[in-house]
Chain A
């Protein structure tokens, strides 16, 4: 029964969200069927498309998990965007700066990832600490940090920045060192799917296990559901929330490293823009279930992967996918509460009616 409720809201959100976005498309004189056909072709139509979808889904899975653990613990990390960027910068220190170019890949790849996670963790710690110990709204802090970090990355890949590729006028970092590309999973057909997918799946299992099987996950959930009662029961909310933000930031940093080493291979301005926000959509559509994140990330990954084809086929701007995303998420949220509201109203009406019948009103007007 609990499971059914968990699925209703996302399905409601998906259906209504897609209907509403289709309606908007019709209003603007485009064909939704064509648009979604284009989306499908671009995301699942060919093996290359599927590979693209999966590649887009990888950071979304990891980012989605980062959002889930924070949200479940009563602190909402909307800073995955900035943490991912900052993590990628940390990863790039190892992966692109000349001083580390002689490290063998079996050291430099893990080192790059660890540094990326540390960078992400630092950025997660700031809002976590400020929320837990100073009561400052974490959403505002993480949003401001997002902007600052995105600008900071731009600055550092521009000429004069410490990550800028020497001798080049373009705003970019150097290409990652020889041998540091993440290994590909398949040869040939699924061209670019890299080992990051395995990392993401392993992480899904770990997060699922921690959230549903461990006492720390139990505590996180209790804090998220009722912080006061959890504290009365001896749980150290501030400590746990701060640490959750550190872990969440580290996961975002990991996603950043994977984007760098598995997909982009160098930092450019606004590289991977929007993944952090899409990860929130992923987590919400998955109804905060670590397993559901995989499906939900593939859905949003497909939206991204298919957007270009859609633009070409249906003459609908690429950014339409962002619109679908926002509207779907809105209705997922509404879908989670609407059944309760409707249910309450129906029960009230039914009970009132039963009462009226039972009492066999002799006189007086029936008031509905």
Chain B
């Protein structure tokens, strides 16, 4: 029994890996006071370009770099508009997600026009070890290790470094931070680019780290779920990680249903809905608040 529970949690962690990675990046942005609803599009871009570059160069590492670069470009536009031009943060994110969907769809369309059907599997990261579920085997690669490292690391950066202190100050009271010589916009932009790169990395975890193909809109709302995890986790690294774990477990649960052919009302489709419903319920029934005080409020001050 205990074994089964450990296995359950472990498989939850594995299933939740991309989400864990992305939300650890996202929490840094949110703490710096910027609302990042563009994770979805950034992740999708990262997923596509890592796949694309991996398949065209034949190297997973170049694929990974390409994916991160793609995500950074998206985050750059998004960040400049929001942080330097003070555009509406929600609307900008909606536009960015739309553009990312369009870009990846178009490129994928172009790519599949020129590729024969059998050649669309990209190289991928080999599993470091495998978890045997009896009926199925889950491979664990280094993205998983990275996710595990990122949880304490993110906590450490936020709480125990001068960088984290600056991030927190900029999120709580940017004007005060500015009087202490901190460049508010620069800090926010760097945080934003960081979370963009991380979201793209998480996207790579979906493609070259897992299924090795790209499917249009394959992120399927993970960016928003990551955001929900951050809100649920009250903007802390640990809380967010817990939220992502719950989501991962609910995704693992979905797999169990398929693998063991459990019968639930509504069948397979219900199991697909479950992670979203659980996330929504977590959001609704968790204690709201604890957002940084200057969260989602554009900085009006003069700095460059």
* A interface, CB within 8 angstroms of B: 24, 28, 76, 78, 130, 134-137, 139-141, 143-148, 151-152, 154-155, 158, 160, 277, 280-281, 284, 315-327, 329-330, 332-334, 336-338, 341
Contact = CB atoms under 8 A, between A and B. Distances in A.
A367 B62 CA distance: 46
B267 A160 contact: yes
10 contacts: A130-B284, A137-B231, A144-B224, A144-B283, A151-B269, A281-B95, A318-B109, A324-B102, A326-B97, A330-B96
Nearest to B82: A333
B19 to A, nearest CB: 14
A326 B266 contact: no
A315 B92 contact: no
Given A135-B288, A144-B276, A322 B95 contact: no
Nearest to A327: B99
Contact of A334 (B85, B224, B288): B85
B101 A326 contact: yes
B1 interface: no
A41 B216 CA distance: 27
A154 B269 contact: yes
Nearest to A21: B102
A212 B138 CA distance: 59
A130 B92 CA distance: 23
Nearest to B277: A148
Nearest to B288: A135
A139 B87 contact: no
Contacts of B103: 24, 323, 326
B284 A322 contact: no
B102 A325 contact: yes
A317 B267 CA distance: 35
Contacts of A330: 77, 81, 92, 95-96, 99
B85 A140 contact: no
Contacts of A321: 102
Given A136-B283, A136-B288, A148-B276, A326 B110 contact: no
Contacts of B97: 326
B98 A155 contact: no
B56 interface: no
Contact of A158 (B77, B88, B231, B269): B269
Interface of B: 37, 77, 81, 85-88, 90-103, 105-110, 113, 216, 220-221, 224-225, 227-228, 231, 266-267, 269-270, 272-273, 276-277, 279-280, 283-284, 288-289
- Most interface-central of A136, A146, A277, A321 (chain B CB within 10 A): A136
Contacts of B266: 155, 160
A24 B88 CA distance: 26
B273 A320 contact: no
Contacts of B96: 326, 330
Nearest to B99: A326
Describe A's contact surface by its main secondary structure: helix
A130 B227 CA distance: 16
Contacts of A158: 269
A50 B220 CA distance: 33
Contacts of B216: 319
Contacts of A329: 94-95, 98-99
B231 A140 contact: yes
B87 to A, nearest CB: 5
A192 to B, nearest CB: 26
B288 A143 contact: no
A319 B109 contact: yes
B66 to A, nearest CB: 15
A230 B30 CA distance: 28
A78 B113 CA distance: 32
A174 B57 CA distance: 48
A323 B99 contact: yes
A315 B77 contact: no
Contacts of A327: 99, 102
A317 B276 contact: no
A139 B85 contact: no
B225 A78 contact: no
Nearest to B103: A323
Given A137-B231, A144-B280, A333-B81, A320 B224 contact: no
- Most interface-central of A141, A151, A154 (chain B CB within 10 A): A151
A337 B109 contact: no
Contacts of B267: 155, 160
Contact of A144 (B94, B105, B109, B221): B221
Contacts of A154: 269
B91 to A, nearest CB: 6
A68 B81 CA distance: 22
A134 B288 contact: yes
Contact of B87 (A144, A322, A324, A337): A337
Nearest to B92: A333
A323 B284 contact: no
Contacts of A333: 81, 87-88, 91-92, 95
B283 A140 contact: yes
- Most interface-central of B37, B90, B94 (chain A CB within 10 A): B94
A135 B270 CA distance: 28
A232 B37 CA distance: 31
A76 B81 CA distance: 19
- Most interface-central of B93, B97, B228, B280 (chain A CB within 10 A): B280
Contact of B110 (A147, A317, A324, A336): A317
Contacts of A147: 220-221, 273, 276
